[in-house]
Amino acid sequence: ENIAGTLYARGDLAAARSSYEEALGVYRQLASRSDVASTLTGLAEVLRYQADLKAARERLEEAVTLRTEAGEKGRALYARYLLATVALEEAARGQRPCAEVAAELEQLATGFHELGMAEAEVAALYQLADARLRLGWADLAANAMARAEVLAPQVTDLSTRASIRITSARVT
């Protein structure tokens, strides 16, 4: 799975997908549910970048189920967040109502807040702002970004920081 993550980070999506699928088979044989869930999540990210949203959704739905059954509340919530990012892309293609995705992102941001997961909360808020912009709800998008900007100093992930800045610029 670490090899797959490295391949993904390098942009070799085909090799990353193959590596994740191989690891998934091994973890399923070992009945290692936590490793299966982690691998499904990584594989789903690759599938999303390959624009295979249906397959990404299926992998993430399974990961959410596994995490929930294991009582891994934070990890289950994060898998739901990744599922919402897929739903947002589906909404952009007209395959899902954007208002439903916005409502899910609002719930996720609240859940992350309650669990003290500031970085994930910020990610959910900037995605929420994006969804609201797509719906033409500029004031509500600005509200989500204002909430995200309060938490932004706690964000260490450079990709998340860049996304915050980009979305913030789109809102203003």
Torsion of CA 11, 64, 122, 128, to 10 degrees: 90
In this structure, are residues 92 and 73 in contact, taking their beta carbons and an 8 Å threshold? no
Q: Which of 5-19, 98-112, 125-139, 146-160 has the lowest mean pLDDT?
A: 146-160
What is the arithmetic mean of pLDDT over 15-33?
93
As a whole number of angstroms, the distance between CA 151 and CA 149 comes to 5
Predicted TM-score (pTM) of this structure: 0.89
Average pLDDT, the chain: 92
- List the one residue out of 154, 150, 156, 157 whose CA is nearest residue 168: 150
Better pLDDT: 70 or 1: 70
Tokens of 39: 């691998």
Q: Which of 62-66, 107-111, 148-152, 163-167 has the lowest mean pLDDT?
A: 163-167
DSSP assignment string, the chain: -HHHHHHHHTT-HHHHHHHHHHHHHHHHHHT-HHHHHHHHHHHHHHHHHTT-HHHHHHHHHHHHHHHHHTT-HHHHHHHHHHHHHHHHHHHHTTSS-HHHHHHHHHHHHHHHHHHT-HHHHHHHHHHHHHHHHHTT-HHHHHHHHHHHHHHGGG---HHHHHHHHHHHHHH-
